[in-house]
């Protein structure tokens, strides 16, 4: 029997202009001289954040702009804010509450797809040979962070830009295990290439996360199986899709909720 191919949400990336800006930003931020002089990631600003900021707006006069009591990563000439958020979305909540009534805001959130990991000896700074991670990232991972800003996702001024990127990751070998890897700290991430992109401008755009062969009604478990994701992540996704009005609960099957795609 032929093995069923695992479903993967991976829209084709066809924005050639963005690809050019991305490569130009890498050339600007990641230079051989800077890496030799300061070491990987020794800049005040982490490399991933710096490259994406330069990709979105190469003009430094539009970067790090005071807006009220906050600093916007980018305030464009046509008065649009772009925020590069590479980690905890909780940090965006107070900014969004202030920015959204005043300006259109786009949050750029990068997700690692394929990673190559290099370990750093914290004592000597020596680098190991890089290894390719066996795990690939997914757009579904963004829901862990999107759930933290769910009160803002319906706002007409908010756009979420999810970027799936191949990356090089540098980690300090300072963990608690014998080899220093478990419990270790990430040192820096270097973006390599753009794999795919999803732009979320309104609640209906979140329908892209529903697998095409999803049966109805479905449970969180059957959603996880169809999407090829952990059951714990599936629960978070369905909570958010329900809140955004894209799916609805229609009953129970044992201890599990039953969901259907909500009719317009």
Q: Which of 201, 222, 244 is the last residue of a domain?
A: 201
Q: What is the pLDDT of residue 32?
A: 45
Provide the terminal-to-terminal Cα distance of the chain, rounded to the nearest Å. Answer: 39
Burial of residue 166, with CB atoms counted within 10 A of its CB: 0-12 exposed, 13-18 middle, 19 or more buried: middle
Q: What is the pLDDT of residue 186?
A: 80
54 and 154, same domain (yes or no): yes
Q: What is the CATH number of the domain that holds 219?
A: 1.10.10
Q: Pick from 257, 229, 84, 246: which is nearest to 161 by CA?
A: 84
Q: Which of 157, 179, 201 is the last residue of a domain?
A: 201
194 and 215, same domain (yes or no): no
Please check whether residue 47 lies inside any domain of the structure: yes
167 and 256, same domain (yes or no): no
For residue 109, give every residue at least 6 positions away whose Cβ sits within 8 Å of its Cβ, in sequence order, or none: 85, 86, 89, 142, 145, 160, 161, 162, 163
Please check whether residue 256 lies inside any domain of the structure: yes
Q: What is the pLDDT of residue 240?
A: 97
Higher pLDDT, 74 or 174: 74
Q: Pick from 81, 239, 259: which is nearest to 155 by CA?
A: 81
Please check whether residue 249 lies inside any domain of the structure: yes
Please check whether residue 5 lies inside any domain of the structure: no
62 and 135, same domain (yes or no): yes
Q: What is the pLDDT of residue 180?
A: 65
136 and 31, same domain (yes or no): yes
Please tell me the number of Cα atoms within 13 Å of 20 on its side-chain side.
3
Higher pLDDT, 33 or 233: 233
194 and 214, same domain (yes or no): no
Write the pLDDT tens digit of every residue in 98-150: 999 999 999 999 999 999 998 888 878 788 878 898 889 999 999 999 999 99
Q: What is the pLDDT of residue 1?
A: 41
Q: What is the pLDDT of residue 177?
A: 74
128 and 51, same domain (yes or no): yes
Please check whether residue 3 lies inside any domain of the structure: no
Q: What is the pLDDT of residue 121?
A: 81
125 and 242, same domain (yes or no): no
Per the structure, the count of domains in the chain is 2
Q: What is the pLDDT of residue 241?
A: 97
Q: Which of 201, 230, 251 is the last residue of a domain?
A: 201
75 and 33, same domain (yes or no): yes
Structure tokens given for 102:
């005043």
Please check whether residue 1 lies inside any domain of the structure: no
Please check whether residue 7 lies inside any domain of the structure: no
Average pLDDT over residues 179-199: 86
3-state secondary structure the chain: CCCCCCCCCCCCCCCHHHHHHHHHHHHHHCCHHHHHHHCCCCCCCCHHHHHHHHHHCCCHHHEEEEECCEEEEEECCCCCEEEECCCCHHHHHHHHHHHCCCCCEEEEEEEEEEEEEEEECCCCCCECCCEECCCCCCHHHHHHHHHHHHHHCCCCCEEEEEEEEEEEEEEECCCCCCCCCCCCEEEEEEEEEEEEEEEECCHHHHHHHCCCCCCCCECHHHHHHHHCCCHHHHHHHHHHHHHCCCEEEEEEECCEEEEEECCC
Please check whether residue 82 lies inside any domain of the structure: yes
pLDDT at 262 over 90: no
42 and 97, same domain (yes or no): yes
176 and 261, same domain (yes or no): no
Confidence band, pLDDT 50/70/90 cuts, at residue 43: very low
Give the Cα separation of 118 and 167 in Å (integer). Answer: 11
Q: What is the pLDDT of residue 158?
A: 98
Contact 117, 133 (CB under 8 A): yes
Residue-averaged pLDDT of the chain: 89
Write the pLDDT tens digit of every residue in 251-260: 998 899 999 9
pLDDT at 188 over 70: yes
Q: Which domain holds residue 128?
A: 16-201
Write the pLDDT tens digit of every residue in 194-228: 999 999 999 999 999 999 889 899 999 999 999 99
Write the pLDDT tens digit of every residue in 52-72: 999 999 999 999 999 999 999
103 and 224, same domain (yes or no): no
Give the Cα separation of 257 and 221 in Å (integer). Answer: 10
Structure tokens given for 7:
């479903």
- Torsion sign (Cα): 246, 252, 255, 256: negative
Write the pLDDT tens digit of every residue in 13-40: 999 999 999 999 999 998 744 444 344 4
């Amino acid at each position: 029997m032929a093995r069923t191919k695992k479903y993967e949400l991976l829209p084709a990336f066809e924005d050639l202009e963005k690809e050019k800006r991305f490569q130009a930003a890498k050339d600007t931020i990641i230079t051989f001289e800077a890496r030799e002089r300061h070491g990987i990631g020794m800049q005040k600003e982490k490399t991933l954040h710096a490259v994406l900021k330069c990709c979105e707006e190469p003009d430094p006069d539009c970067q790090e702009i005071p807006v009220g009591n906050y600093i916007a990563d980018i305030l464009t000439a046509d008065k649009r804010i772009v925020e590069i958020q590479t980690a905890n979305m909780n940090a965006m909540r107070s900014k969004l509450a202030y920015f959204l009534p005043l300006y259109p805001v786009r949050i750029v959130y990068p997700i690692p797809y394929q990673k190559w990991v290099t370990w750093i000896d914290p004592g000597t700074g020596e680098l190991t040979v890089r290894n390719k991670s066996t795990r690939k990232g997914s757009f579904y991972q963004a829901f862990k962070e999107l759930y933290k800003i769910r009160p803002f996702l319906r706002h007409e001024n908010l756009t979420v830009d999810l970027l799936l990127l191949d990356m090089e990751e540098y980690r300090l070998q300072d963990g608690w295990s014998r080899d220093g890897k478990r419990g270790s700290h990430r040192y820096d991430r270097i973006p390599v290439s753009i794999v795919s992109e999803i732009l979320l401008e309104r609640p209906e755009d979140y329908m892209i996360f529903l697998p095409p062969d999803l049966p109805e009604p479905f449970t969180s478990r059957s959603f996880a199986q169809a999407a090829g994701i952990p059951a714990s992540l599936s629960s978070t996704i369905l909570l958010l899709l329900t809140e955004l009005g894209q799916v609805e609960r229609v009953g129970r099957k044992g201890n599990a909720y039953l969901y259907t795609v909500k009719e317009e």
